[in-house]
Structure 1
Amino acid sequence: MIIRNIFVIIVSAIAITAASLWLGQQSYSWFPVQAAAESHLVDDLFSFLVVLASFIFLGVTVTLLYSIVFHRAAPSDTSDGPPIEGNIALEVVWTAIPIALVIWIATYSYQVYEQMAIRGPMEHMHFQMPKAMESAYAFPWDKKPVVEQESEVIGNGTINVIAKQWAWEFHYPYKNVSSTELHLPANQRIHLALQSEDVLHGFYVPAFRVKQDIIPKQTIDFEFTPTREGTYRLMDSQFSGTYFAAMEANVVVDSPEEYQHWLEKAANQKPAPAKNQAAEEYAANQSKPFQNGWQTVVPAAPPIVNYSG
């Protein structure tokens, strides 16, 4: 009996571990493509959490099934179970293990958060970062960051990101180019200066696994490294009002040569009002003969940009 139980435990532990590791590997496919250096950190952390959660879930489930199959009472047995009052050793074990797991998860999560350098707007901190990821930091609203000089070289300078109800506006250091579609060079460290003209917004690109809150009257210096060419979506991760769902923009990661070509092309275009879904929907609603009675904030005027996408 003891030998059988030991054998069942060993086989079950091996099977549960293998299944948990397999699920952890499958979790990488649950996200969008990894399009930034930071995405590997987030996906590795999530995979670790999936492995751990799967091991606990499967372990508990298998234990319950084993107890039901091999330790169920006989149909005619109506007696009470053994009068067990407690087991100090067992209680210590099932208390110590969760504490150790929580500390492990918290430490690993903090290390990832530290490496990604995403933090609150009032903090000004510096961490030891990998070469591909340097620390981002935030400026108080009354201490403006150093203004970048106009740059003729791609990858140099800071791209200013302005969030407002309900549009994204991007200003590049190259010849004052502006757009409502964020273009970035691949495999180069990107520096963004995030600002909000009204309420709380959130800069969030799922494919990059980066998210940073944008606080009014704050300028947040935010950095990441896109690594995969393609077109992705920028979303507002914070509810910013009526037309919040329309506050999205394309993020186009180009090769360095294509990025330079796009900047030169955009610089030759005359600034004009960009297409803005929120403003169009609001104008269409106001033109109706009968209003629904719901009040809403008037959207900001469409941005005047060189390139609207």
Structure 2
Amino acid sequence: MKIRLILNLLTLMTGGLVVTITSIFIGKQAYSWLPPQAAAESHLIDDLFSFLVTLGAFIFLAVTSTVLYSITFHRAKNYDMSDGPHIEGNVTLEVVWTAIPVMLVLWIAAYSYQVYEQMGIQGPSHLVHLHNPMQMQTGYAQEEETPAETVSEPLEKIDVLAKQWAWVFHYPEKGITSTELHLPSDRRVRLALQSEDVLHGFYIPAFRLKQDIVPGRTINFEFTPIRPGKYSLTDSQYSGTYFATMQANVIVETPEEYHEWLTKAASHIPTPAKNQAASEYAQTSNQRIKTGWGTVKPAAPPVVNFSG
């Protein structure tokens, strides 16, 4: 009896160790499933994602291993059609398997909320004016009326206007506008996010940044690009019929290249930029036979110095 108990304990410990190591390995692989980390804030989201994958893999492997072990070593003998032993409810077991999921959910919630605050994303609590002070580490978002915190790094300030269906970026220091967002690498950037009409979402997957843009409010959002390259900005909110066309290129370049681009763009005469939503709407409205539901007329193509 003691030998069997010892063997069961050794099997359980060995299985638990294998499952744990395998889960950690799978969690580490999760980093490669995401786009390159193009902003200093990216590691916060990637660490959270890796943690969730590790936890999910552990639960999946543990349950699967337990089922396989049970049907392999504890199945009934051939031609044994008798009923199993009658077992009443076990209060201790029920408390344990209820407490563990509750603790896991609270752990995930606490970790997720911590990352949420460190990223500085403004959620519903800000819209109903609840007091919810931010603890800034890397990312930071605040309403314009809130006193800005002092940041030692140099700030590049850019105004961002979202409208149906286009992104417009204004660089106040040079007085230029663009439909392509250019950013200097390794420099802290502050975006003043505004919406001209409905709720939009500022989302750059490579930066792991997603911030709702609420009509009638200006939200300052800070982050630090660290990887030169070309990335995509999209609207994370359904803002109407042509919201899928509301995309823009994000160009992260060295500070020298960035200032060269600013100088070059400043020399361009403002002209209407190409706008896919306006083009598709014009195509549809010119059809003799109307098909589909009516839609909001897109805003006029933005007039910019640089359209990419």
Corresponding residue for 1:151? Answer: none
Give the letter for the 1:6 counterpart. Answer: L
Displacement of 1:145 in angstroms is 9.0
Are residues 84 and 228 of structure 1, via their aligned partners in 2, closer, same or farther at CA, if it must alter by over 3 Å? same
Q: Is contact 1:233–1:250 with CA below 8 Å preserved after alignment? A: yes
Determine if the alignment matches structure 1 residue 127 to structure 2 residue 134. yes
Quote the Cα distance in structure 2 between the aligned partners of 1:2 and 1:176. Answer: 78
Superposed CA deviations along residues 228-252 of structure 1, whole A, max 9, x for unmatched, are: 0000000000011111110000000
- Alpha carbons of 1:54 and 1:144: their partners in 2 closer, same or farther (altered >3 Å)? closer
Deviation at 1:289, TM superposition (A): 2.6
Q: What is the match of residue 260 of structure 1?
A: 259
| Secondary structure of the structure 2 residue equivalent to 1:211 | strand
Q: Classify 1:293/1:51 alpha carbon distance in 2 versus 1 (closer, same or farther; 3 Å).
A: closer
Match of 1:43 among 14, 34, 46: 46
How far residue 88 of structure 1 moved from its aligned partner, in angstroms, is 1.8
TM-score by length of 1: 0.91
Alignment partner of 1:33 out of 32, 36, 51: 36
Distance 1:145 1:262, change over 3 A: farther
Structure 1: which 5+ residue stretches go unaligned? 147-153
SS at match of 2:53: helix
Q: Counterpart of 1:237?
A: 236
Aligned residue runs from structure 1 range 1-309, under 5 A:
1-120=4-123, 121-122=126-127, 125-130=132-137, 133=138, 135-139=140-144, 156-309=155-308
Query: What is the TM-score with the length of structure 2 in the denominator?
Result: 0.92
Q: What SS does structure 2 have at the residue aligned with 1:136? A: strand
Matched AA of 2:101: P
Separation in 2 of the partners of 1:38 and 1:116?
A: 7
Alignment deviations for residues 138-181 of structure 1 (CA, whole Å, 9 cap, x no partner): 24xxx5999xxxxxxx9645211000000000001222110000
Alpha carbons 1:160, 1:170 under 8 Å: kept = yes
Sequence identity (%): 61
TM-align CA RMSD: 1.8
Residue identity in the other structure for 1:136: A
For residues 163-221 of structure 1, give each alpha carbon's deviation from its aligned partner in whole angstroms, at most 9, with x where no partner exists: 00000000012221100000001111110111111111000000000000011111111
Q: Deviations over 1:57-99 (max 9, x none)?
A: 1000000010001111112212111111111221221122112
Structure 1 pair 171–125 and aligned structure 2 pair: CA distance change class (3 A): farther
Partner AA of 2:206 in structure 1? A
The structural deviation recorded for 1:3 is: 2.4
Alpha-carbon distance in 1 for matches of 2:113, 2:132: 14
* Superimposed CA distance per residue, residues 24-77 of structure 1 (whole angstroms, 9 cap, x where no aligned partner): 011111111110111100000010011111101100000001000111111221
Q: Rate the CA distance shift 1:247–1:236 in 2: closer, same or farther, 3 A.
A: same
Q: Is the Cα–Cα contact under 8 Å of residues 160 and 172 in structure 1 kept in the other structure?
A: yes
Contact 2:166–2:247 under 8 Å retained in 1: yes
Q: What letter matches 1:128 in structure 2? A: Q
Would you say the 8 A contact 1:145–1:219 is kept in 2? no
Q: How many residues align?
A: 297
Summarize the Cα distance change of 1:157–1:181 in structure 2 as closer, same or farther, 3 Å threshold: same
